A and B are shown apart, each in its own frame.
Chain A
Amino acid sequence: MAFHWTAIPRFIPQLLAGAQLTLLITLAAMALGIAIGAAMAAGRVSRFRVLRLLAGLYVEFIRNTPALLQIFILFFGMPSLGLRMSAVTAGSIALGLNASAYLAEIFRAGLNGVPAGSREAAIALSFSRLHMLAYVTTPLAMRAAWPAFCNLVISILLASSLLSAISVYELTGITNDISTKTFLTFEVYSIAALFYVALNIAVSLLLALTGRLLFPPQSR
């Protein structure tokens, strides 16, 4: 088999556009995921049984069904309820809902990870409930949740490739498209793999940096 690496450069702009869309989808999904995930985490530790049950059902259902199916349900299924969305929108929302279930668990684990001692110390210092939440519980929970949060961002980034199955031209979609049109299968996929690895590294570095800023090691 002969390789045609020289043919690759002219596809780079397309691949870059795909990578950009991949990042955008990831960002949108994470934003939606954080909002709903926080609400679900709150629901799961709520005082009301019904809320706990509903939030639990939501989280467990999403975590135990394939993301691809969730995307199909939103893209193919919602129109039959009169809700028509573009593939990117439907896909991003599905991914966001998917992320929210995992985030709910991450947030909850973070809350559980706050040492009882810190809470007791705050009570002993007669912090108000609000002050305790603002100055003790939330910062400590966020710190505890941060590593898992970073891992989730990366897995959502990778999962955004599923949108290619509903013809969204993000990085994987573009790659498939170029591959089927040119038969440069090996070359195009190799380059796309590099793109993904580069995206991972870039996002991981950014998150590590953010982590440093948010949670300086000396305050540990």
Chain B
Amino acid sequence: MNFALVWEARWLIFDSFLVTLYLSACAIVGGTVVGMIVALLRQAGIRSLNLALRAYVELFRGTPLLMQLFFIYFGLPLVSIPVDRFWAAFIALTCFTSAYVAEVFRSGIEAIPRGQSEAATALGMGFFHRFFWIIAPQAMRVSLPPLIGVYVSVIKDTSLATVVGYNELTRRAMELMLRFGHPLEFFITVALLYFAICYPISKLSEALERKLTPTAR
């Protein structure tokens, strides 16, 4: 083991650590916004729209993120949409994440008793009032723990951007290994960095989950 080498490369590693954080943040925001829109549109109860949205969700949940990434990186330029490595990773992660976020919200919404929506309707509230003031805030609470769980996955999944050559943390470890050898040292170091972000967030999700279900034995 030769961690002196890792220490020497610390700024290079730190640099790509920030890149990973940046890509994660972008994908989390993008995925949440798109996922919420999908969940909202599914509430409108328009049949053909529902079908299309279900197909979207099933497609992105039913195929590997890695393939989606390749497809976007190599496919979009063929239809004259230039995407660089960041954009390919961002778009793929956003679509992929949004599918999971939409499902989380949907089950959160379905967990709200029908009476809530009915009571709001009986008070004369329309679709948007009901959704934003009555349903969404309650669904949000139920959805928060699994949502944070999805975010942990997103952070880990940014590592896939390696395969299109985007210079995030995993890619940097690979490059350093190719240059200096000592794969274990570099990979374990970056693994610990991922762990350092993901572990506290996972714990937060679990704590929230416990708070919402006080009946835990």
Residues on A lying within 8 angstroms of B by beta carbon are 1, 60-61, 63-70, 72-73, 76-77, 79-81, 112, 116, 158-162, 164-165, 172, 175-176, 179-180, 183, 185-186, 189, 192-193, 196-197, 200
Contacts and interface: CB of A to CB of B under 8 A. Distances in A.
B78 A185 contact: yes
Most buried by B among A69, A70, A176, A193: A69
Interface of B: 58-59, 62-67, 70-71, 74-75, 78-79, 152, 156-157, 159-160, 162-163, 170, 173-174, 177, 181-184, 187-188, 190-191, 194-195, 198-199, 202, 217
B67 A196 contact: yes
A126 to B, nearest CB: 23
Given A76-B177, A81-B184, A200-B62, 9 more contacts: A69-B159, A69-B170, A69-B194, A77-B184, A80-B181, A161-B66, A179-B70, A186-B78, A192-B67
A66 B184 contact: no
A73 B191 CA distance: 9
B68 to A, nearest CB: 9
Contact of B202 (A64, A80, A196): A64
B191 A158 contact: no
| Chain B interface mostly | helix
Contacts, number: 121
Contact of A76 (B160, B183, B198): B183
B74 A179 contact: yes
Nearest to A81: B184
A186 B71 CA distance: 7
Given A67-B156, A68-B159, A162 B183 contact: no
Contacts of B152: 64
A116 B190 CA distance: 43
| Chain A interface mostly | helix
B183 A189 contact: no
Nearest to B192: A65
A68 B184 contact: no
Contacts of B63: 158, 192-193, 196-197
Nearest to A75: B183
A82 to B, nearest CB: 12
A188 B191 CA distance: 33
Contacts of B217: 112, 116
